[in-house]
A and B are shown apart, each in its own frame.
Chain A
Amino acid sequence: EAQVTQNPRYLITVTGKKLTVTCSQNMNHEYMSWYRQDPGLGLRQIYYSMNVEVTDKGDVPEGYKVSRKEKRNFPLILESPSPNQTSLYFCASRRGEGIQYFGAGTRLSVL
């Protein structure tokens, strides 16, 4: 079954404590992305990757890091989380202009 798997689904943390949200896809897709969703703002792209070792910024990259060392994995790293990064995060993957598959989401609260 085609899947994008994010972990954890829910996370509560404190300001400044580094965290990583993992994302994995089983479809051998080249493209992977991270989005955040906030009320009234829709989804905004944080970072994307076109393939292993190729990443670029989206609309809201400040405060986030990503890496793409393997094709199937695209972790999102918050080195020093702040309360304004409290949000719902989605990982997605696709092939070319094709269908983008989204994960179930990670709800993050930074206290």
Chain B
Amino acid sequence: DAKTTQPNSMESNEEEPVHLPCNHSTISGTDYIHWYRQLPSQGPEYVIHGLTSNVNNRMASLAIAEDRKSSTLILHRATLRDAAVYYCILRDRRDNYGQNFVFGPGTRLSVLP
């Protein structure tokens, strides 16, 4: 069962770094860890994904624990536009083709000016 656990909500001050944690103790060896976010009244948008090594892109960094049972999404300098619900996602391999993506409730990030 591809289950992730995230805090319900977090708060950050503008221009400070934010570390959003995710536990995924049941992850299988070949599963990527995906992060998406959903701004108010919009569809989810891609943030970052990774397999084993830490990953960086222009939006964020993804730090993956050595045992892969947890990961942390890092926003280096939070802005007001980063206020959103952040989802850590795995694939559930109980279906025929292993393509069922499981979104949990996510973490609602508030950014204070």
Interface membership of A85, Cβ < 8 A: no
Looking at chain B, what size class is its interface with the partner chain? 20 to 34
Closest residue to A45 on the B side, CB-wise?
A: B100
Closest residue to A97 on the B side, CB-wise?
A: B32
Q: Which of B57-113 contact A (CB under 8 A)?
A: 87, 92, 95-97, 99-106
The A-B contact count (CB < 8 A) is 56
1/0 per residue A5-49: CB within 8 Å of B? Answer: 000000000000000000000000001010100001111110010
Q: B102–A102 contact, CB under 8 A?
A: no
Q: B43–A90 contact, CB under 8 A?
A: yes
User: With a CB–CB cut-off of 8 A, which chain A residues contact B43?
Assistant: 90, 92, 102-105
| Chain A at the B interface: SS class | strand
Give A33 to B44 CA distance when docked, in angstroms: 13
What is the CB-to-nearest-CB distance from A63 to chain B, in angstroms, rounded to a whole number?
Answer: 17
User: With a CB–CB cut-off of 8 A, which chain B residues contact A90?
Assistant: 43-44
Q: A59–B102 contact, CB under 8 A?
A: yes
User: With a CB–CB cut-off of 8 A, which chain A residues contact B45?
Assistant: 102
User: With a CB–CB cut-off of 8 A, which chain A residues contact B34?
Assistant: 100
A residues sitting closer than 8 Å to B (CB atoms) are 31, 33, 35, 40-45, 48, 50, 54, 56-59, 90, 92, 97, 99-105
